[in-house]
Structure 1
Amino acid sequence: MFGKVIKGLFGSSSASEPKTKASPPVLYDGFEIIAEPRPAGGQWQVAGHIEKDIDGERKVHVFVRADTMPTSDEAAEHTVRKAKLLIDQQGPALFG
């Protein structure tokens, strides 16, 4: 009984739950894109982060989109496309 209370407070993951896996970084226009799809109701949510060294400091922009895909690989591909669009639109201002 006490174990269930602790698990309820701090969360637990079952063996059947899909796990988030980060993809290898994709280099694009001096930025690194890391896709990290998240499980979402039997689908995979588009999520990841963009990194770049600016003036000797590592900058990171984390993003999550409402888009979902049936597989982790499809969500990762879509994440990279979304990240490239963000980079094209905002460039280094993405971190400001």
Structure 2
Amino acid sequence: MASFFKDLWTRFSGAGGRDSASEPAAATVEYKGFRIRPAPYPSKGQYQTAGTIEKDCEGGVKEHRFVRAETHASKDDAVAFAIVKGKQIIDEQGEGIFT
């Protein structure tokens, strides 16, 4: 479990791991007034499902980061699944994800 959190921290802090600068960022998807930015990261030879949900609000941009337990053999599969999960989070929680 500690390794999971270390991998997560490494991904979101931008330190260590594979050279993420050499991997292009996944395209942002607009959905119901939110933006989903898939951000899978390498973990133990696979790609971890992760991303960010954003929305422009009166006080500025609100952001919610998510990481799921699912891993995928390819980055493309992880990106596609992160989009599905982002949509599911929006459908289930709406703007409640920011509270």
Q: Distance in 2 between matches of 1:73 and 1:18?
A: 17
The 10-residue stretch of structure 1 (21-30 or 40-49) with the greater mean CA deviation from structure 2: 21-30
Given that 1:45 and 1:75 are in contact with CA atoms closer than 8 Å, whether structure 2 keeps it comes out as: yes
Q: Distance in 2 between matches of 1:45 and 1:89?
A: 22
C-alpha spacing 1:18/1:67, structure 2 compared with 1 (3 Å) = farther
Uncovered stretches (5+) of structure 1, i.e. residues with no partner = 1-10
Equivalent pairs, count: 83
SS at match of 2:68: strand
C-alpha spacing 1:53/1:41, structure 2 compared with 1 (3 Å) = same
Q: Which has the higher helix share?
A: 2
Given that 1:48 and 1:63 are in contact with CA atoms closer than 8 Å, whether structure 2 keeps it comes out as: yes
Matched, 1:71 2:74: yes
The 10-residue stretch of structure 1 (29-38 or 18-27) with the greater mean CA deviation from structure 2: 18-27
SS at match of 1:34: strand
Q: How does 1:9-48 map to 2 (within 5 A)?
A: 12=16, 17=18, 19=20, 21-48=24-51
Uncovered stretches (5+) of structure 2, i.e. residues with no partner = 1-14
Q: Distance in 2 between matches of 1:56 and 1:21?
A: 30
Q: Distance in 2 between matches of 1:67 and 1:21?
A: 21
Match of 2:53 in 1: 50
Match of 1:7 in 2: none
What TM-score, normalized by structure 1, do the two folds share?
0.78
Q: State percent identity of aligned pairs.
A: 41
Larger Rg: 1
Q: Distance in 1 between matches of 2:95 and 2:57?
A: 8
Match of 2:93 in 1: 90
Match of 1:3 in 2: none
